[in-house]
Amino acid sequence: MLEIVTVDPFDDAAADGWWNAYAEARRADMGEHALVWTREERRAQLQQPSATTEERAYAALQDGAVVGSASLTLSLKDNLHSAGIGVNVPPQHRRQGVGTALLAHVEAEAIAAGRTTMRVDILWPASAPADGTGQPNREFARRHGYEIAIGDLQNRLELPVADGVIDSLLAKTPASDGYDLHSWRGPVPEAFVAEWAALDAVLDTEAPTGDLDIEAASADVGDLRDDEALLARQNRTSFGTVAISPDGAVAAYTQIVVSGDDGNAYQWGTLVRREDRGHRLGMRVKLANLRMLQRESPRTPRIYTFNAESNEHMLAVNTRLGFIPTARLAELQKKL
């Protein structure tokens, strides 16, 4: 008999079984291009209390063995109408109703929390059709009423990028009068943190959103500092760069996070303030941050990033840097 239980993240055996099912499913679907949060990264995320986000984990048990895992993410300050859902079933347990049971259980939990918009992210190889036709996870989601709200590309950059290449790109990106760049490793300096938080909060709505039912996040320095504390617990290191405008404001920011567990770097947010666009600041801050990363973390082998397929400008920036597409990610949505 199939049983679905809530996972206690402080119970090592339960959390390990949950993570193993997640990781096995991801690796089966994506092979060498699978990006899997490490066991300790996910455990730290589930264990840390947060004022902004509630994270729940669920496991499907068959005769006491974990045959599938699921997650539920609930924002506590904004987007109170939506829920983030994840369902992962290893190949040997598929087509037995495990995924359907997990999805129904998590949706019911989301509804009980007052959520009416369900969001799911799924990936498939870059060689597959752009709409995911024929991919098991896409067909499963379609059967359960989830449609693509926006499509993204997963891209990878092998490191190091030669200094000459960076210099050449900088030469094609003339410095704009009056803008200064500042880069650092670790937490955001106090001088920039309030404006960094404000830019980061609107990233999801300033970037292409397709049909996503989403609103801007809250900008709170205390919440940002809590997120930085979580990064430290996850053995992750942040590298940040900002462009400061002539009026002294943060005009653009970018962030790369390196996992101390898997060794890879992940490009997080990059955004230029509306009134400062047109000065090629996005490319400039990314190049400065890349140069710092390679200086401070020379053994980092590669960077991964995700961008909406409709975000032609950022994709062009990434192509010039040398990123290549390795997978597709679809942000799915269902309104109840």
Look at residue 118 and tell me whether its pLDDT is greater than 90. Answer: yes
Q: Do domains 2-145 and 156-330 have the same CATH topology?
A: yes
CATH T-level assignment (fold) for domain 156-330: Aminopeptidase (3.40.630)
**Where does the pLDDT of residue 172 fall: very low under 50, low under 70, confident under 90, or very high at 90 and above?**
confident
Cα distance between residue 290 and residue 163, in whole Å: 10
Q: Is the pLDDT of residue 10 over 90?
A: yes
pLDDT, tens digit, for every residue of 187-206? 999 999 999 999 999 988 88
pLDDT in tens, 201-223: 998 888 778 899 999 888 899 99
pLDDT given for residue 176 in this prediction: 65
Name the pTM for this structure: 0.94
Instruction: Find, among 39, 26, 145, 33, the residue nearest to 88 by Cα.
Output: 26
How many residues are recorded in the chain?
A: 336
Amino acid letter for position 105: H
pLDDT of residue 195: 97
User: How far apart are alpha carbons 327 and 169 in whole angstroms?
Assistant: 26
d(CA 168, CA 34): 32
Q: Where are the domains of the chain?
A: 2-145, 156-330
Selected from 3.20.20.450, 1.10.3470.10, 3.40.50.300, 3.40.630.30, the CATH number assigned to the domain covering 2-145 reads: 3.40.630.30
Instruction: Please tell me the distance from the alpha carbon of residue 309 to that of residue 131, in angstroms, as a whole number.
Output: 12
Beta bridge partners of 239: 185, 256
Alpha-carbon span 292 to 297, nearest angstrom: 8
